[in-house]
Amino acid sequence: MVDNVTTPTTGTGTATPVIATDDVSGVHYQRMKITDGTADSAVHLKVAAEDSASADGDTGLVPMAVRRAAPVNSSGTDGDYEPLQMNNGALWVSPLGFPKTIKVDITRPADTTAYAAGDAMSNSTTAPTSGGFTLTDAARKSGGSGIITDVCVASSNDPGTRLNGEIYFWDQAVTNINDNAAFTVTDAEIKNCIGVVPFSLYDVGANHYSHMTGLNILYTCVGTANLRFLLRVRAAYTPANAEVISITVKMLQLD
């Protein structure tokens, strides 16, 4: 069949109008110029099928993005449409994940009872924080994943013998252990442990500190967006009264 439709005219000397159409099995689909383009041009928007080959002179719409020095949410609610954002000619993306830093302070009991190797270090001798110490929103969503890259440990104490310990990370809640009790977890709980980071603190004057990097511990949270952790002492250690152990965890959230 023939494309285009000629419409009837009225009056003498009037040019016969033609409407551009595409005849498909006897049905005429009107062609429309979506862009304002050059006047009187026959160029119009192209819609291509999947896997169709590109050709010189193909036409289409130019996508628009918002220039921003730093990406921010421009819509009001999660799930709303919003434009892409770019800066210096490059589209804002996060190819390495979403950086996240979480800090947790653990204040041990008001005593100076010495630890033996293999004891738990916690915040109570009778009722430590339920479920273990929490890294809140370690993932961007419940059941989300990430990679622990660095861990920093600081102590408010300045003892003669340095603290040597281990941090055990869990992908879900774990039974916390009383301070100065033997570090023991069940067979079922140890299966949920995602990694262990040993540390040895260094004297930096009035307090002690250590930084562990290049850890590359992959995790997927279970049931929440949180991770949990417990502390274990690796060698005999005499603490300070109400000593504060500060744990800083650096991670990349992946989804």
Local confidence pLDDT in tens for the 255 residues of the chain = 688 888 776 666 667 788 889 989 889 888 877 655 566 676 667 777 888 898 887 877 778 899 999 888 989 998 999 999 999 999 988 767 889 999 999 999 999 999 999 999 999 999 999 999 999 999 999 999 999 999 999 999 999 999 999 999 999 999 999 999 999 999 999 999 999 999 999 999 999 999 999 999 999 999 999 999 999 999 999 999 999 999 999 999 998
Q: What is the 3-state secondary structure (H, E, C) of 39-84?
A: CCCCCCCCCCCCCCCCCCCCCCCCCCCEECCCCCCCCCCCCCCCCC
- The CA-CA-CA angle for residues 169, 171, 172, to 5°, reads 110
At residue 54, the pLDDT reads 87
- The CA-CA-CA angle for residues 68, 252, 137, to 5°, reads 95
How does strand 244-253 pair with strand 145-155?
antiparallel
CA 112 to each of CA 126, 152, 157, 242, 247: distance values in angstroms, whole numbers, following the listed order: 16, 24, 11, 8, 21
Which domains are present in the chain?
Answer: 1-57 (no CATH), 98-253 (2.60.120)
Question: Which 3 state secondary structure label does DSSP give 204?
Answer: coil
At residue 113, the pLDDT reads 97
Among the listed residues 247, 213, 220, 248, the one whose alpha carbon sits nearest the alpha carbon of residue 147: 220
At residue 35, the pLDDT reads 59
Q: Return d(Cα 67, Cα 90) in angstroms, integer.
A: 9
At residue 219, the pLDDT reads 98
At residue 62, the pLDDT reads 78
At residue 163, the pLDDT reads 97
At residue 34, the pLDDT reads 66
Question: Cα torsion at 168, 173, 178, 180 (round to 10°)?
Answer: 0
Give the tokens for residue 109: 């009991």
Q: Return d(Cα 149, Cα 249) in angstroms, integer.
A: 8
